[in-house]
Amino acid sequence: MEQVETIENNSKEVVINIQHVRKSFGRHEVLHDINMELQKGENLVVLGRSGEGKSVAVKCIIGLLEQDNGIINVLGKEVKTLDENSIKSMRVKVGFLFQGGALYDSMSVRENLTFPLIRVLNIRDNKEIDKRIQEMLENVGLKEAIDKMPSELSGGMRKRIALARTLILKPEIILYDEPTTGLDPITAKEISDLILNLHRKYKSSSLIITHDMSCARITADRILVLDKGIFVAAGTYDELEKSENELVRSFFK
């Protein structure tokens, strides 16, 4: 299959720009020359089967992995060339929701949310910390879980708390790695609705990696379909629903 045009020609500000990115693990090339743009205020969904390199792409964007070739620009800065301090500053503006939530399991919910406030924003005022925590827990509908440990939370609750922890730094861009994976359909829909509501509230730009069509339908302004390391389709949910591409159609069945 051939790579499709994934970059929209309009005058909107671009917050993430990926050009000709390749990434291999040993002899296995996961990403073959991918190109994409995330525009300011946009909800972009990257759809693809498991193992197609979606998570690898998003980890390259945040600098957890380094691409072999190509350029990744985040908020106008090339990630590969950033030093330790610059990458730290960049990460404050880019939130990342991990697939499993990645809550610190030796800390309570309150401590999980306090952790980035103290260490990244250097907020020491307890009133200010409490105010921010309450606001975020209210956003995700889990005010009552404030003193619970992660082991006491269900999968959906863990995702919500992880989302609250991501949002507490008020990032400009949020990267979601499979936000609804492993959840029942009702909880998955709740998380997708939550992503959309928070996107509207905070006007952030989001890149959502998923293979869940329900999540894509609720959250996406635009969808890119990744297959064998290249983007094989691009468009809105409605456009892709009518696609004649066999792989794209299989997602809608």
Partner 1 sequence: MGRFFRNIFKVGFEWNEFVRQCYLIGYKSFFLVGVTGFVIGLVITIQTDPTMKSFGAQSYVPSMVAISVIREIGPVVIALICAGRIASGIGAELGSMNVTEQIDAMEVSGANPIQYLVVTRIFACTLMIPLLSIMGDAVALLGGFTGENIDGHISLILYFNKSFKYLDFSDLFPAVIKTVFFGFTVGFIGCYKGYQSKRGTEGVGDAANSAVVYTSLWIIVLDGIAAQLTNLFVYQ
Q: In angstroms, what is the minimal distance from the CB of 75 to partner 1?
A: 14
- Which residue number, 43 or 166, has a Cβ lying nearer to partner 1? 166
Q: In angstroms, what is the minimal distance from the CB of 94 to partner 1?
A: 8
Residues between 30 and 59 that touch partner 1 (CB under 8 A): none
Q: How far is residue 166's CA from residue 142's CA, in Å, rounded to a whole number?
A: 15
Residue 103 contacts partner 1 per CB under 8 A? yes
Q: Is 5 helix (H, G, I), strand (E, B) or coil?
A: coil
Contact 3, 36 (CB under 8 A): no
- Which residue number, 78 or 239, has a Cβ lying nearer to partner 1? 78
Residue 202 contacts partner 1 per CB under 8 A? no
Q: In angstroms, what is the minimal distance from the CB of 64 to partner 1?
A: 6
Mask: binding to partner 1, 109-128, rule CB under 8 A, as x and -?
------xx--xx--------
For tokens 């990267």, the residue is 175
Residue 98 contacts partner 1 per CB under 8 A? yes
Interior/surface letters 47-65, b for 16+ CB within 10 angstroms, e for the rest: bbeeebbbbbbbbbbbbeb
Q: How far is residue 15's CA from residue 37's CA, in Å, rounded to a whole number?
A: 8
- Nearest CA to 224 among 57, 82, 23? 57
Q: How far is residue 232's CA from residue 1's CA, in Å, rounded to a whole number?
A: 7
- Which one of residues 23, 91, 159, 222 is an interface residue with partner 1 (CB under 8 A)? 91
Both tokens of 239, joined, read 């456009």
Residues that bind partner 1 (CB under 8 A): 62, 64, 88-89, 91-92, 94, 96, 98-100, 102-105, 115-116, 119-120, 165, 169
